[in-house]
Structure 1
């Protein structure tokens, strides 16, 4: 399949973009997580897991290739560039292959689709003549770059069995393979390289990477470097560990880097403690450039290493998201910073080496709160200073640092939950006093998880494992309650997520299905059972996502629910009785189907998805909290609507769920819409499906009071 490549040209920042159109995606991947590099004339290609950045050296500009711009997959394993054919090959971890040439993307899915009794792992890609040799867990897959097809497969293990090939090198008319059975060689011009008998063992040494110099090939056993000269000859040794990087570069010990010649002498070298996991070192003009799996792409300038790419999001596997109406906050795995995104800029907040378990925002103090395992409560103040807070009541209790969740109630009090603690629920009042609490009945391991506070200030808390929910009402008297499948009709006792919608209903996601509680006002006085939403599936009623693990539920401005699962994300109507949209890796730029967290910017309707493979966002149709104070403040975008634009038109800031009418200048009705929350979306066509003529069109909005007001004008240009 051949697709035109839409390159996103970036001059100042790879993440700073203009207002994203409705229905469009954008990515926020960690550019510091380098995977591979490739050089091609004036182009330097730098790959991360989910995208390839092309650095145009002659123009000093950047393009980015990912699923949004035309690539067919994510989770990149290796890249390689064939200069004569000006072709970039991108090999993905699942075996899929893309070729990028002449601003088009050609997909070669043969290896990906092939049913094999072995796993498919790609270790290296080497271009030789007009072919690319992909070293895999079954052998070598050969791609003819000119014909754009898989040409052959070399299965060269003992007696023709699958054998892992880690790397390939060519020197003096021989092809060498680094395999799990040792180093093999065969004549490069052989017509039967797919026959295992064509290969002979030159060394039983098992290596995973060759050292490839100018007209020489070598390898390292960890303490010596050997070059092939009618046999493997030692040319270099070191008392410190030797690690091949790329081409003829090696890392010696932890801080020394050297490029070797065929005799083992050093061509150039430098010392630097900054690169724990380098994947490539190249000379760009007169400056050294290094790519590292944790430091990104850096260039040496006046003796210092500086980032070659713009600063962006620093988290590869986001776990937690929080949007406070102005900024997005992201937390990742143990050791990751907290990152914040505001006004199209990212800020990195280094925190103690700890696992963040939840995020909350105190609007009164403008402070981000993060609970953690091992470091208790961490706060980020408006001045970006970071503080670790001890819980005074727990000074002598180590479990006080194992905090599962934090949240803020309507009176600005702070609530905490803990694990393995006899008082797993703690209230910190605004006066600073602490109250320790525990239910009067047994809960396993004295552990309470995530916490949600509903509109009546009742606390809904997850009990880890298959123990349902713990409820607390402490408005007048302290009442506790446990909700399960039997006592509350939960779909499953393994609760994974909690969410409060605009009608005051609490939605509960479990390990198999979801439900909502429409009776929060009678929670402690009468039976209050979860309702399982029913949808029509092929004219058959069924429970919504009954067999799905529900990682998260987010509510947009129109009270619709975005639901994150192991099989993508679903958008459903407010009652959960109709599926509006389902995004997964097959029909969207999502790099993974596992959606861990969803956060929504209520102002512009952008939905952020934290997946196991990175963060990205989709511009939705509903907004939530921005109602224009005057009609002149209603935002229409794009405006004017130019002839080349065929996408949706957003009308933002109208009364919530307003009836919106668009007329021509004479008052003739063109189309009538219903807003999703505070935003209406028009497809740019009249009721008959025709594009309006050039002219000025008026927008009227009718709110709950029944009054209709002129709120905006739209200019169409044809």
Structure 2
């Protein structure tokens, strides 16, 4: 039923796809992991995990290309720029090839390798590109594929292992009219580049059978490096020893007349006679693992595994410049939290079974109102590991609390770690009978009195509160039958000060200290609460005081949180919708990771494999299902969702990066004093919608031309209305000034704004 439901919904909704207006989306990707680099005469191209950027060497201008522009979100393995054809090739670990036409920015997704039926799915990785006479020889995990740049089509594939078998090709190079190829664990092979029958493995000659890792033509020399880290040059087909490196190279290339060999800790640069002219031992100020290096003129560019892209010069190799575009520390963001126009992100995590091991020692990232990112390194976090949740003090947004699923609760004050709460200075408890102090704090939420409530897993008292006067108090949850085996997820607090807590074995537990520490559970089973599963991962209270509950196997709704105060039993309901005249359960069997309520009481629901569902306030209408297949989402595995209540921007964190959707999810204002229409003016190159923000809920918005002819009308649901600059969704309006008339629901307040359209 699950797949049938999803398929039918997808057919009914309007897909956004890559033809949608890019202005609705924005990407927030990390560029700290550099997979590969390439260059033209004017630009340096650097590929990160699933995005790339290019830097103009003359102006230092940097432009980024992500899923917003049409990339797939898959893991990148290689990048290559063909200056002759003005095309950039992006190779992926799954064999996907994306060809970017740098002239007009168009992208071609080439799936020939991905769809090769004779090759196992885990053996399609693209390992290297080598261009010759308009063709690119692509080294893959199964052989060599030939791609014609002129016609943008694949040609032959060379299977050159023993007897024509698949063999992992790590690198190719062209030398003296021969293609040389390193076959992992097999040897170094060669064949004439002019041979029209290279598809026949018999045309390939074994030069030297050994466990080589790379091969590269260096002017009049041919070198190869084995997995033993020894470098040889070939005299004929005979290898002669040159030197041995202290580490196995991660990248070998020839650029600007020099051989550049990168290892984890060093960059070795040789001239055409294989004489070492420079060795870079470290990058000043950081401890980095190096992945690749190249040269443009006198400049040396160095990619790192976690610190981005740096440059130095051959003439002054002790001074380094950080070329990494602004962004979060990592793509795999576990939790996000907004406050005004600031967004906090953390990267610590735990498994599906709430296991934080191996422990994470990651930084914290903060994005300001200008979309600039600030890093708080782990070394400044008081040794707090595996940070999983964020709570911003609504009364003082300079105070931010980070839940650690190992170390307790970390307090930030004025952008600095101020205190780590653990068993020595709070009521938080360590897991019994462990040698080390393991304090698993997860869900956190402020109540209306400024008290911070947090959960503490696998201990006797699972709920703790840090009062606004800095005093701690703990509570045992009577609704939890086996507290020492129970892990807690998110926590929300309703208008009655009831704390609703997600658990992995006991469903949802409600607790209210103002009603004699009353505690009730909503569990699996008709008589226990009607949940589809006791493993609850997300909870939210909407604007109508309904409790939305997301489990690992579906969705339920408690009709009113008030029932906690009067009833001894709580029962949730499935949302039933009609599909083709048949009753279906909304989000049947879906693993729900997050539920967020927007300013219009609509719901944004994240899943662990099906993307994001954007549904109406009652769940009866699905506005959209955003997936990596029909939107810029880089992954269908959603880790967290957060909405900026002021701007309506919906931030969606996935396991492969974060994007945002700029919708209409703003709360209604209290008056009409801050109405804004943007962009204004609307210029010819703009193809998006005009946003009219600062509205009260249920405002009447009328738009007319200068002569008073009505072109659009809508009742606001929340604080924003979007106008597509068309006459009631049909033809685009002409250039001119358009009047925006806004009136409150009761007609007592009104406002008039203007917007100029330039076609």
**1:123 aligned residue (127, 130, 134):** 127
Equivalent position of 2:261 in the other structure? 250
Cα distance in 1 between the residues matched to 2:621 and 2:483: 37
- Asked if 1:296 corresponds to 2:308, the answer is yes
Equivalent position of 1:322 in the other structure? 337
Equivalent position of 1:4 in the other structure? none
Structure 1: which 5+ residue stretches go unaligned?
Answer: 1-19
Cα distance in 2 between the residues matched to 1:129 and 1:75: 29
Cα distance in 1 between the residues matched to 2:209 and 2:288: 29
Equivalent position of 2:17 in the other structure? none
The alignment's C-alpha RMSD in Å is: 2.6
Residue 170 (structure 1) shift: 2.3
Cα distance in 2 between the residues matched to 1:542 and 1:55: 51
More deviation, 56-65/687-696: 687-696
Q: Is the 8 A contact 1:75 1:591 kept in 2?
A: no
Cα distance in 2 between the residues matched to 1:573 and 1:395: 39
How many residues are matched?
695
Equivalent position of 2:411 in the other structure? 379
Residue 609 (structure 1) shift: 1.0
Cα distance in 2 between the residues matched to 1:56 and 1:131: 26
- Asked if 1:712 corresponds to 2:744, the answer is no
Equivalent position of 1:471 in the other structure? 510
Cα distance in 1 between the residues matched to 2:112 and 2:389: 43
Per-residue Cα deviation, 1:590-636 (whole angstroms, up to 9, x for no partner): 111111111111111111111111111111123126x27554x3100
Equivalent position of 1:236 in the other structure? 242
Residue 261 (structure 1) shift: 4.5
Cα distance in 2 between the residues matched to 1:264 and 1:221: 19
**Partner SS, residue 306 of structure 2:** coil
Residue 665 (structure 1) shift: 4.8
TM-score normalised per structure 1: 0.91
Cα distance in 1 between the residues matched to 2:245 and 2:107: 47
Cα distance in 1 between the residues matched to 2:499 and 2:325: 43
Q: Is the 8 A contact 2:72 2:634 kept in 1?
A: no
Cα distance in 1 between the residues matched to 2:363 and 2:722: 37
- Asked if 1:457 corresponds to 2:497, the answer is yes
**1:550 aligned residue (557, 579, 592):** 592
Change (3 A) 1:490 1:163: same
Cα distance in 2 between the residues matched to 1:642 and 1:242: 55
Residue 353 (structure 1) shift: 6.1
**Partner SS, residue 53 of structure 1:** strand
- Asked if 1:194 corresponds to 2:205, the answer is no
1:570-609 paired onto structure 2 within 5 Å = 570-609=613-652
Equivalent position of 2:536 in the other structure? 495
- Asked if 1:640 corresponds to 2:671, the answer is no
Equivalent position of 1:5 in the other structure? none
Q: Is the 8 A contact 2:180 2:215 kept in 1?
A: no
Change (3 A) 1:702 1:540: farther
Change (3 A) 1:449 1:666: same
- Asked if 1:414 corresponds to 2:452, the answer is yes
Q: Is the 8 A contact 1:315 1:337 kept in 2?
A: no
Equivalent position of 1:149 in the other structure? 153
Residue 281 (structure 1) shift: 1.8
Cα distance in 2 between the residues matched to 1:586 and 1:238: 47
Cα distance in 2 between the residues matched to 1:59 and 1:456: 58
More deviation, 579-588/655-664: 655-664
**Partner SS, residue 449 of structure 1:** strand
Q: Is the 8 A contact 2:384 2:404 kept in 1?
A: no
Cα distance in 2 between the residues matched to 1:676 and 1:488: 32
**2:485 aligned residue (445, 456, 460):** 445
Cα distance in 2 between the residues matched to 1:525 and 1:396: 32
- Asked if 1:364 corresponds to 2:364, the answer is no
- Asked if 1:77 corresponds to 2:87, the answer is no
Cα distance in 1 between the residues matched to 2:513 and 2:670: 37
Per-residue Cα deviation, 1:222-246 (whole angstroms, up to 9, x for no partner): 3421122223434333473342423
Q: Is the 8 A contact 2:267 2:293 kept in 1?
A: no
Residue 717 (structure 1) shift: 4.2
TM-score normalised per structure 2: 0.86
Cα distance in 2 between the residues matched to 1:604 and 1:100: 33
Per-residue Cα deviation, 1:446-480 (whole angstroms, up to 9, x for no partner): 5333222122111111222x431222121130112
Q: Is the 8 A contact 2:489 2:537 kept in 1?
A: no
